Amino acid sequence: MNILDKITLDKRNEVALRKQLIPTFQLEQSVLFERQTVSLATNLRNSKSGIIAEHKRRSPSKSVINNTLNVQDVAKGYQDAGVCGISVLTDGKYFGGSLDDLLTARASCNLPLLRKEFIIDEYQVLEAKAYGADVILLIAAILTRNEIKQFSEFAKSLNLDVLLEVHNEEELHKSIMPSLDMLGVNNRNLKTFDVSLDVSKNLSNLIPNDFVKISESGISNIEAIKELKPYGYQGFLIGENFMKTDNPGESATEFIKSLVG
């Protein structure tokens, strides 16, 4: 069983428990449920940098990245740096995140927020909306075509943007549908954790231009972005690179300054 299968199995149990604790009508009564969302896809189309910065404490591949920072400072720092959006990890067991991180980030900035999560149930899409997200992530590797359709259409009905993540051609072909806004190519092989930008390059031509193309994982320098832009990528997800420093906002500021000149 690879790490993704393990996470997904745990996630099914976790979501079943959460559904018992907080019924859907309670989520729908959240103050943030009526909030006007901000489109990450639109931000990326109009941006020179295309940076989506991530709040991430740890990961299965790197263990602890940064446990000392508070979400409020990170979100404010990222907003000041001029990023296009913020990805907030809400998985607790493997990434040390929580839905409270999403709430805190929402209270700290006006940027589009992506709920970075392993979504296997419509309930999690409702949670994303109730906790202030603007975008959800769907991972093709753990979902059927029908689930991708169901969850993405449900997200659109709540005015949420949808980012679909793929790792290979097979996942891409089963996933392309009108209810997606962005297609993210993850350069990390989830079985081996090896990272290669070639994954993004090889898949770029297969992604229709109706979707905003995003490259994820392994983007730690400006050269990587300059290398990927000719392939039509408009978004670049950067997590560890900023989070492993003492001041992610400052690191993002320097990075964007060097990138856009």
The tokens for 243 are 């989070």
Task: Name residue, tokens 């031509």.
Answer: 205
What whole-number distance in Å separates Cα of residue 225 and Cα of residue 201?
12
Whole-angstrom CA distances from 64 to 10, 56, 60 are: 20, 9, 9
The tokens for 216 are 């994820």
- Active-site residue flag, 116: yes
The DSSP letter of residue 23 is -
Q: Which of 117, 127, 171, 216 is catalytic?
A: 216
Q: Which of 116, 152, 187, 213 is catalytic?
A: 116
- Active-site residue flag, 48: no
Q: Which of 49, 87, 129, 165 is catalytic?
A: 165
- Active-site residue flag, 217: yes
Radius of gyration in angstroms for the set of CA atoms belonging to the chain, rounded to a whole number = 17
Sign of the C-alpha dihedral computed for residues 189, 194, 197 and 202 taken in this order: negative
- Active-site residue flag, 216: yes
Q: Which of 59, 186, 187, 215 is catalytic?
A: 186
Q: Which of 56, 59, 127, 175 is catalytic?
A: 56
Which of helix, strand or coil describes residue 124?
helix
Q: Are 106 and 135 in contact (CB under 8 A)?
A: no
Which of helix, strand or coil describes residue 7?
helix
- Active-site residue flag, 54: yes
Q: Which of 217, 240, 241, 251 is catalytic?
A: 217
What residues are labeled active site?
Answer: 54, 56, 116, 165, 186, 216-217
